Amino acid sequence: MDATTALWIANILSLIGNVVATSAAFLKSKRNILLFQSSNHVLEIIAYLFTEAYSGVTQEVISLIRNVTFVFVKTKRKAPKLIISLVCLVAGLVVGILFNIYFSDNVFYGYLPVAAAAVYAVFVILAFMLNVDDLTAELFMKIGIIFNAVCWSIYGWFIRLYPVMAFNGVAFLLAAISIVRIALAKKRAAKGVDEPSTEPASESGEGQSS
């Protein structure tokens, strides 16, 4: 297969995967976000193999393993998921750096997927491991998506996978909008708690809790 055909196939696979991944920006459930992103990881792994972007391959594989762990490991204990997540985080850093040095000529942009995966992993761990409300968990996920999107978008431009660049740009915008929505929702919730009711109390006691 010639290089041009391989690049076309890679871009088509990447296009499909990124349509799915970008849809995650519309989701609120952290489990569904990871499921959509996992589908993208599979397609991107194949696309990066076609373009010999091995730094990207390693990060997609490790991210896929981490997401599958969080989605399908059914346990209320946090320790196993935390241990697996930390192992994936460290493995992603080490393997990504080594692959970029020895298989990708140590190009500077080869470290972008490593940084993207590592930072996003931290925010996923925070969302799943901390005892926070759903809005805060979603906020962690969306902040992670923003950093992830910036790094992958730049990486996509360098390796000529333009769907990666374009759709990560869209994911950035959608995640940013979501963060504004979350901030407004938190502000409304805080006002609802902090501001005392101005309605006069019923003299007969009707409607008051006992």
Chunked mean pLDDT (size 10), the chain, 210 residues: 89 90 76 85 93 88 83 74 84 91 90 91 85 88 91 92 88 91 89 57 38
Q: What is the reported pLDDT for 210?
A: 38
Residue 54: what residue type?
A: Y
Q: Whole-angstrom Cα distance, residue 65 to residue 69?
A: 6
Q: Where are the alpha helices (DSSP H) in the chain?
A: 3-23, 30-51, 54-72, 78-103, 112-129, 134-158, 162-194
Contacts of 173 (CB under 8 A, 6+ apart): none
Q: What is the reported pLDDT for 125?
A: 85
At 29, phi and psi to the nearest 5? Answer: -75, 125
What pTM was estimated for this model as a whole?
0.74
Q: Whole-angstrom Cα distance, residue 184 to residue 175?
A: 14
Nearest Cα to Cα of residue 43 among 30, 53, 57, 55: 57
Neighbours of 102 (CB within 10 A): 10
Neighbours of 112 (CB within 10 A): 24
SS3 108: helix
Tokens of 162: 């333009």
DSSP letter, residue 1: -
Q: What is the reported pLDDT for 138?
A: 87
Q: How far is CA 57 from the centre of its chain?
A: 16
Domain boundaries, the chain: 3-194
Q: What is the reported pLDDT for 119?
A: 92
Q: What is the reported pLDDT for 27?
A: 80
Q: Whole-angstrom Cα distance, residue 44 to residue 19?
A: 12
User: Rounded to the nearest 5 degrees, what angle is found at the Cα of 143, between the Cα atoms of 168 and 33?
Assistant: 70
Q: What is the reported pLDDT for 200?
A: 47
